[in-house]
């Protein structure tokens, strides 16, 4: 039988409820009076930074202690990837939270439709102070930022020109140092400190043609690096796409532009084999240097050239490939070492200024990159090294330091993640998922099992054929189209280097059927279609 509540007890109970409600009310009022401090966002992105060249992922090639701090003190994503592995499309996806067939920036050539909503605009409208410094790649007037200093197009390593709201300016020095100086100056002096900030700090490095600073050039040309297992891949177990691509170190990397062989050296030698069609890239970069800079670079360039002249003619193809790989790594990793030092400067600034505590720091790249895997440089293909991209996030008090996560997250998810972190409403037509549950360790809330990929820029430099694909943790199913109709399937756990296409292997027949159905479903989900493929081919041909 229920015990009768006495009148006295009832009164005490009511008083308690009332007291509790009013205490909640006053707490609520206090919270409203003093709104929770919205976090600052520092979005750091490099250009073409392979995860293989970050020691948080692997320290075989280089130590990056400063970049590693972000994941040591936050979260490291080991399966982060892009939707279209090339620069401007990746940036457009990050800004809009949409696949490139929806935002229209399917390749580096198509114009970006600036009437679209981008996440910086939403931050600005919500009262954030916003800025973009460094490489955007397209346009000269980014929307939604209170301030900008951006490199025109690809930008230059030495004495770069910058576009600013007040006109163009050229600054003497090394681009990675300059972008960092300007970023720290904005954080420290230029921004409105009454507001939270969203800063996009975007490096040009380590994009081709890989000019390290003079100090790093000196240091890194003394080093030798381990070769990847697939450096001599002959593409025999795959279709025509890998065979016909033009990004092989031996066959396609330029002697001058990339390996820093002077045009005069080539002329003196008369014949340099294998023949690689030259471009005037060496001269274009070198002609920007002032006398002081030349004096620093010249002795190193001379010693590379003298060695080349003396040894190249008697070397076999294997030796040549190995030499080109070392030259490539010396310059590429030299550029990264500067990025790492400069990221360290910014992190130190956040600590010293007391900003670190309430600032989310993200480190990523616009895509991955081949560091000799499959004999390649560049990106574009869906094979892991360029499909995956580094991603680490630090958010004090919210992310448990040292967390690792292997879910399939994409650059498509960034905008929604940042908006949710800043408590800004997310537009319903964005196509990603907020990563906040993963950042907070609520992995059970994450349901994505597969991602969609679509690359378009063909025919073009490096000749990587158009392809779209579905990728799960277990498999990668790819359809190359346009001037071929070829399918590839990779078993990611059995063949992590993606050396053997098992699409026609009868033991994978059921997997193929299942994944083709799932790929169709993904294309529907993200509103991609054969009609859109056709539309973009026609537009591409018109825009030649
Ligand atoms: C330049 C490079 C290419 C590179 C594209 C796209 N050539 O054209 O090697 O693939 O940029 O890179 S270079 O001769 O100019 O160095 S992206 O990162 O901007 O997409
Ligand atoms: Ca890039």
State how beta strands 197-202 and 486-491 pair. unpaired
Bridge partners of residue 360, in order along the sequence: 41
What 8-state DSSP symbol labels residue 121? H
Ligand 1 atom with the smallest distance to the CA of 279 is 14
Which atom of ligand 1 lies at the shortest distance from residue 137's CA?
Answer: 19
Residue 11 CA to ligand 1 center (angstroms) comes to: 77
Using the mean position of ligand 1's atoms as its centre, give its distance from the Cα of residue 423 in Å: 37
The whole-number pLDDT of residue 14 equals 46
Displacement of CA 282 from its chain's centroid (Å)? 26
**Which residues, listed in sequence order, are joined to residue 361 by a DSSP beta bridge?**
42, 394
Q: Which of 350, 428, 390 is nearest to 184 (CA)?
A: 350
Which residues, given as ranges, of the chain have pLDDT below 50?
A: 1-24, 27-28, 31-34
Which pTM was predicted?
A: 0.93
DSSP 61: S
48 CB within 6 A, ligand 1: yes
User: How far apart (Å, rounded) are the C-alpha atoms in residues 106 and 113?
Assistant: 11
- Domain end, chosen from 308, 328, 348, is at 328
Q: Indicate whether residue 86 lines ligand 1 (CB < 6 A).
A: yes
Q: For residue range 303-353, what is the model confidence (pLDDT) as tens digits?
A: 999 999 999 999 999 999 999 999 999 999 999 999 999 999 999 999 999
Ligand 1 contact, 105 CB (< 6 A) = no
Domain assignment of residue 136, yes or no: no
What is the domain count for the chain? 2
Nearest-atom number in ligand 1 for the CA of 254 is: 14
The residue whose CB lies within 8 Å of the most ligand 1 atoms, and thus the one to mutate among 50, 94, 209, 461, is: 461
What pLDDT, on a 0 to 100 scale, did the predictor assign at position 280? 92
CB atoms within 10 A of CB 36: 7
Domain harbouring 469, CATH code:
3.30.1120.10
Determine, yes or no, domain membership for 114.
Answer: no
What number does the ligand 1 atom closest to the CA of 367 have? 18
pLDDT at res. 11: 45
Q: Which two tokens stand for residue 290?
A: 């002032």
Q: At what angle do helices 65-72 and 317-353 cross, to 10 degrees?
A: 60
| Whether the Cβ atoms of residue 192 and residue 37 lie closer than 8 Å to each other | no
Cα–Cα dist 237/256, whole Å: 32
The Cα–Cα gap between 273 and 261 comes to: 13
CA of residue 34 to ligand 2 center, whole Å: 42
CA distance 325 to 376: 9
pLDDT at 140: 79
Q: Is 538 in the pocket of ligand 1 (CB under 6 A)?
A: no
* Ligand 1, pocket-test mutation among 92, 105, 108, most atoms within 8 A of CB: 108
Residue 455 CA from chain centroid, whole number: 15
Two structure tokens written together for 506: 């009868």
| Residue 116 Ramachandran class (φ > 0 left, ψ -120 to 50 alpha, else beta) | beta
* CA pair distance 238, 486, nearest whole angstrom: 10
Domain extent, residue 291, equals: 239-328
Is residue 539 a part of any domain in this protein?
A: yes
Q: Contacts by 241-244 with C-beta closer than 8 Å and gap 24+?
A: 241/381, 241/464, 241/465, 241/467, 241/480, 241/484, 241/486, 241/488, 242/374, 242/381, 244/463, 244/465
Is position 290 within any domain? yes
Compute, in angstroms, the gap from residue 382 CA to the centroid of ligand 2. Answer: 14
Beta bridge partners of 365: 46
| pLDDT value of position 21 | 47
Kindly state if the Cβ of 209 falls inside 6 Å of ligand 1. yes
pLDDT single digits (tens) 162-171 = 999 999 999 9
Ligand 2 centroid distance, CA of 427 (Å): 27
- The CB density around residue 531, as the number of other CB atoms within 10 Å, is 8
pLDDT in the model for residue 141: 85
Cβ neighbours around 262 below 10 Å, total: 18
Q: Of 304, 328, 352, which residue constitutes the final position of a domain?
A: 328
Q: Which residues pair with 470 in a beta bridge?
A: 452, 477
Q: Which ligand is nearest to the CA of 138?
A: 1
Atom in ligand 1 nearest the alpha carbon of residue 48: 18
**Ligand 1 neighbourhood includes 258 CB (under 6 angstroms):** no
Ligand 1 mutation target, pool 138, 204, 207, most atoms within 8 A of CB: 207
The dihedral over CA atoms of 404, 408, 412, 414, expressed in degrees to the nearest 10, equals -20
Angle separating helix axes 87-96 and 414-421, nearest 10 degrees: 30
Residue of 359, 29, 413 whose CA lies nearest to 183: 359
CA 199, CA 131: separation in Å to the nearest integer?
Answer: 5
Question: Using an 8 Å Cβ cutoff, are 378 and 370 in contact?
Answer: yes
108 CB under 6 A from ligand 1?
A: yes
Ligand 1 centroid to Cα of residue 460, in Å, is 11
- CA 379 to ligand 1 centroid distance, Å: 9
Residue nearest to atom 12 of ligand 1 (CA): 87
Cα of 229 to ligand 2 centre, how many Å? 24
In this structure, is residue 517 part of a structural domain? Answer: yes
CA nearest ligand 1 atom 16, residue: 208
C-alpha count within 13 angstroms, C-beta hemisphere, residue 328: 29
Examine the fold and report which residue of 328, 353, 383 is the final residue of a domain before the chain moves on. Answer: 328
Dihedral angle sign, alpha carbons of residues 8, 14, 18, 21: positive
> Does 287 map to a domain?
yes
In a domain, 437, yes or no: no
CA nearest neighbour of 141 among 124, 164, 161, 121: 164
Please name every residue paired with 403 in a beta bridge, in sequence order, or none if there are none. Answer: 75
**Atom 17 in ligand 1: which residue has the minimum CA distance?**
87
Interatomic CA distance for residues 421 and 395, integer angstroms: 10
CA distance 143 to 131: 10
Is 300 a member of any domain? yes
Contact 366/47 with Cβ under 8 angstroms? yes
Among residues 179, 214, 221, which one has the least CA distance to residue 199? 179
């Amino acid at each position: 039988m229920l015990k009768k509540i006495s009148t006295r007890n009832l009164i005490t109970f009511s008083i308690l409820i009332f007291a509790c409600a009013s205490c909640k009310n006053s707490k609520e009022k206090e919270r409203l009076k003093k709104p929770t401090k919205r976090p600052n966002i520092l979005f750091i992105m490099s250009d073409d930074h392979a995860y293989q060249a970050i020691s948080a992922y692997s320290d075989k090639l280089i130590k990056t202690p400063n970049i590693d701090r972000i994941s040591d003190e936050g979260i490291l994503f080991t399966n982060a990837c892009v939707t279209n592995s090339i620069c401007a499309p990746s940036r457009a996806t990050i800004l809009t939270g949409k696949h490139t067939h929806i935002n229209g920036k399917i390749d580096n050539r198509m114009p970006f439709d600036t009437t679209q909503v981008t996440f910086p605009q939403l931050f600005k409208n919500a009262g954030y102070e916003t800025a973009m410094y460094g490489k955007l790649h397209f346009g000269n007037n980014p929307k939604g930022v209170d301030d900008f200093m951006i490199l025109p197009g690809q930008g230059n390593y030495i004495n770069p020109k910058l576009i600013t709201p007040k006109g163009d300016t050229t600054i003497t020095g090394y681009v990675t140092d300059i972008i960092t100086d300007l970023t720290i100056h904005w954080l420290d002096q230029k921004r409105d400190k009454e507001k939270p900030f969203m800063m996009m700090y975007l490096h040009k490095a380590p994009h081709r043609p890989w000019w390290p600073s003079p100090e790093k050039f000196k240091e890194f040309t003394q080093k030798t690096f381990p070769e990847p297992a697939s450096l001599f891949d002959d593409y025999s177990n795959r279709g025509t796409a890998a065979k016909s691509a033009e990004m092989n170190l031996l066959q396609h990397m330029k002697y001058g532009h990339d390996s820093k062989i002077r045009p005069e050296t080539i002329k003196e030698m008369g014949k340099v084999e294998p023949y690689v069609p030259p471009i005037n890239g060496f001269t274009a970069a070198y002609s920007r240097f002032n006398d002081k800079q030349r004096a620093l670079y010249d002795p190193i360039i001379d010693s590379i050239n003298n060695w080349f002249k003396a040894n190249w003619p008697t070397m076999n193809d294997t030796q040549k490939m190995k030499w080109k790989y070392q030259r490539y790594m010396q310059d590429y990793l030299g550029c990264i070492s500067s990025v790492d030092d400069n990221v360290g400067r910014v992190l130190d600034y956040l600590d010293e200024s007391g900003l670190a505590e309430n600032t989310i720091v993200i480190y990523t790249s616009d895509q991955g990159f081949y560091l000799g895997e499959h004999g390649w440089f560049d990106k574009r293909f869906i094979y892991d090294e360029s499909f995956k991209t580094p991603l680490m996030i630090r958010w004090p008090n919210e992310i448990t330091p040292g967390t690792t996560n292997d879910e399939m997250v994409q650059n498509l998810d960034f905008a929604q993640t940042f908006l949710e972190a800043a408590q800004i409403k997310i537009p319903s037509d964005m196509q990603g998922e907020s990563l906040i549950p993963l950042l907070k360790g609520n992995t059970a809330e994450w349901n994505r099992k597969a991602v969609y990929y679509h690359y378009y820029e063909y025919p073009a430099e490096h000749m990587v054929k158009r392809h779209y694909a579905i990728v799960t943790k277990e498999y990668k199913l790819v359809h190359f189209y346009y001037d071929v109709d070829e399918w590839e399937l990779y078993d990611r756990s059995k063949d992590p280097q993606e050396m053997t296409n098992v699409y026609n292997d009868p033991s994978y027949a059921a997997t193929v059927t299942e994944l083709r159905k799932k790929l169709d479903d993904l294309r529907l989900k993200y509103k991609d279609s054969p009609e859109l493929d056709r539309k973009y081919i026609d537009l591409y041909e018109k825009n030649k």
